[in-house]
Chain A
């Protein structure tokens, strides 16, 4: 049973396109996150939702728009993709925000041509 699942695993697309990444967790957690890990392996938080409410919104271009239809799902839509968006995007979840460990999905490797 996959705890945090992301789709797709790989995404190859051209500059200027719009794409979405989906994330679902079956752990019963109430908080979900999106992280970006660049080529230098630095893991940087982008967004966090607690019970469908946005609680963390880091300095991210507004081309990135998260959406949480319910507390088990957090999707990420990216408009007008740019070369610098190439990275691995990880979804994570935790019970409560901040002081509980996060469980990560397998990541989505986004490559912009």
Chain B
């Protein structure tokens, strides 16, 4: 089983809609969770970090964490064409002090 799993997509949503991206992880004691956005040909850039159960909002982005169910999600409200990118979920693993990245979900926002 992979440490971090994401639906690879592609996910297509119309402009203005809510895009929902999901991620599950296998290490029950993981403590830190991150969402990165990667445009084609560019490096990953951090969008959100979340450390405790519940929702965390930052502008149009909301991260949701449920440690009991071992999933973390990212909601993008009022999706824009500029949000079209691959979104990577990253989870820290309790042993080895390292991150595992999911394979990413490709999002396309259709004008």
Residues of chain A touching chain B, judged by Cβ–Cβ distance below 8 Å, are 40-45, 48, 50, 55-56, 90, 97-107
Contact = CB atoms under 8 A, between A and B. Distances in A.
Nearest to A107: B43
Contacts of B26: none
A90 B43 contact: yes
A98 B43 contact: no
A29 B92 CA distance: 18
Interface stretch (B58-66, B67-75, B99-107): B99-107
Interface residues of B, number: 24
Contact of A56 (B43, B45, B49, B96): B96
B1 interface: no
Given A48-B98, A55-B97, A98-B97, A43 B43 contact: no
Contacts of A104: 43-45
Contact of A98 (B46, B86, B99, B104): B99
A41 B97 contact: no
Contacts of B38: 41
A42 to B, nearest CB: 5
